[in-house]
Structure 1
């Protein structure tokens, strides 16, 4: 039996996943980070992207997280995101509706930037999250949820 580490993924709204994993892939500002049991302690900033939890039975469960933080301890990985999507969420979301919403978000960003009420970093974060979320949902729907 492979060594495992406990993984906790939570969003601002609810717990998303708690379980054991042999390997976890996490999107961070410094790039994609792979974590196994007994990993060095790390604290990092999440960027929007896919978290892949490799389970002991060989299956991989995928989640999409927004901005947040990840804390890695030798036997625990804690991912705390502003929001997160499960594979089931991806199946239930309409990519066309998300694209339309992205257009609205672009208008929102432009309106606030013109009034000087939104800095470039905040605007960029809104759009990066929206674009990455849409790409992930499309990939989940086209691949039937599995890679």
Structure 2
């Protein structure tokens, strides 16, 4: 595939993707970004959001809760804290993620960051329609 990057997505539970993609849309902690062939080397942390890979097989979207993305001119490697294909995401999953975020916020010293995490989880749930 001309103008493609090797995209790999793994979580502690499993490998979710390993495809040649034309672009990968990433929910970076400092804002959304799109990685394509020729991208400058970058490492970013992820915020809760939707990660999308476009390939010859079509678009595939994943719910991610955090982690890291390493981007180079020829590849995108994402190590996610948690990741599931959007079609596998359900209300029970989001209830558990939001409860965990609220528990972490209650115990956190940095209340602003903890509140942002809860807010990001609620926005992620709304974006998936759960």
| Range of TM-score over shorter length | 0.7 to 0.9
Q: CA deviation at 1:128?
A: 3.3
CA 1:69/1:103 → structure 2, altered by over 3 Å: closer, same or farther? Answer: closer
The alignment's C-alpha RMSD in Å is: 2.7
Moved runs in structure 1, 4+ residues, more than 4 A? none
TM-score between both structures, scaled by the size of structure 2: 0.81
Partner of 2:65: 66
CA 1:60/1:72 → structure 2, altered by over 3 Å: closer, same or farther? Answer: same
Match runs of 1:1-147 below 5 Å: 1-57=1-57, 59-90=58-89, 93-94=90-91, 98-99=94-95, 102=98, 106=102, 108=103, 113=106, 117-119=107-109, 120-121=111-112, 123-124=114-115, 126-138=117-129
In 1, Cα distance between equivalents of 2:51 and 2:31: 12
The answer to whether the Cα contact below 8 Å between 2:101 and 2:114 also exists between their aligned partners in 1 is no
TM-score between both structures, scaled by the size of structure 1: 0.72
Q: CA deviation at 1:4?
A: 1.1
In structure 2, the residue corresponding to 1:22 is in which secondary structure? strand
**Greater fraction of residues in helix:** 1
Q: CA deviation at 1:9?
A: 0.8
CA 1:123/1:10 → structure 2, altered by over 3 Å: closer, same or farther? Answer: same
**Greater fraction of residues in strand:** 2
